[in-house]
Amino acid sequence: MSQTCKKRLSGLILPNVMTSTNDLSAFLIQTHSLAPYGLRRLSTLSPPCRRRSGDDFPKSNFSAAYTSSSSTEHRHIRSEEKAWAHWRKLKQPKLIVAPMYDASELPFRMLCRKYGAEAAYTPMLHSRIFAESKKYRSKEFTTCKEDRPLFVQFCGNDPEILLEAAYQVESYCDYVDINLGCPQRIARTGNYGAFLMDNLPLIKSLVTKLATNLTTPVSCKIRLFPSLHDTINYVKLLEDSGCSLIAVHGRTRDERTKERANWDAIKSVKSSVKIPVLANGNIRHMDDVEKCLELTGADGVMSAEALLDNPALFGGFRSGDWVAEGDDGFEDGGVDRGRLMVEYLKLCEKYPVKMGIIVSHVYGMLGKWFDEHPDVRDDFNKEKELSFEYIYRMVDRLRARGVQFPLYVKKI
């Protein structure tokens, strides 16, 4: 296996039937009879499906209210117990690296783990290409023995193809994750991520297909509906379909990171399901971690953009942006972004990735230095033959300028 997800994602099959996001109560949450993953029957791996019809997922006029027989309730309880037993086996990680396109690759995951991250997601992988192309698999998915617990995330809209992709990784991870939260234009074009929220029967079929065939638990990363009622119905659907963990980005499909994440909605999700829940949104330093866990009751938190700037976040380090002027409760932690950059490069030498990914992390970690010394940034932009040696020298050059951007820790 080699590099993690780097390619643009498109070309997934567009279903013909869509269910309105404005009336989730029209979809009956009625199936409790999924076998717990410890007792699931493995289906035979089939060739890639070249065509799927949206007619496989007809519209339904159901009520959100449902009743369960004692036998299906019993099986549902056993499924919950399995979900929690697995989570406890993983030592219930609370500090988690979120999936990031071209950013949560193996070297970056390992850097974050060094500084306190307790679990991590791969970047999003395209299920159809992953299932069909050995070359794509070998280039886009890399892991190692120390890279656990690990969530491997796929996008997709075809249950058979998604399952075939998942079969390739279930022995190398702790959860197979379905991306139901990507709000980007490419997800709209490919009909995956948060845009599957328009077709709940399809989502149900994706989760059920994996949950009833894999030996590894299934997780889902989602966004909120504008209506809390719809969101609650949505997460109950996921739980009843066999999902063992739900990661909730506390924003809707149309909201961006400049808007405050809705931790209250995540709290409502946590109180509505009986499986582990992770909170995502506005985790910038460890004070945010503590507040989020306390307010939401979530079982863990995820961070994305803040880690790109400061991969040592979960180690208690924070940038000067989050230390108030005159606050004497913090001190220089002895780590700066230059050191983090060097440590990241050494990991890249051990676990090779393409230079484009490295360049993105250079801008993430050294961006403040570049703002202070634009001539160094300009030289970096002009360099046509980037190498590890060049970036090491550039870090030395920036340090020699005498301007430092330390990371701070709380005084003991």
Rounded distance between C-alpha atoms, residue 214 and residue 206, angstroms: 12
| 189/361 Cα distance (integer angstroms) | 27
Per the CB < 8 A criterion, the answer to whether 138 and 396 are in contact is no
Out of 5, 155, 173, 182, pick the active-site residue. 182
Strand 300-303 versus strand 95-97 pairing type = parallel
| Residues 338 and 312 sit within 8 Å (Cβ to Cβ) | no
Terminal CA-CA length for the chain: 43
Burial of 171 (0-12, 13-18, 19+ CB in 10 A): exposed
SS3 212: coil
CB 279 within 8 A of CB 301: yes
Residues 6+ apart with CB under 8 A from 150: 109, 119, 120, 121, 122, 143, 172, 173, 174, 175
Q: Is 348 a catalytic residue?
A: no
Write out the DSSP string of 300-356: EEEESHHHHH-TTGGGT-B-GGGS-TT-TTEEEEEEEHHHHHHHHHHHHHHS---HH
Residues known to be catalytic: 182
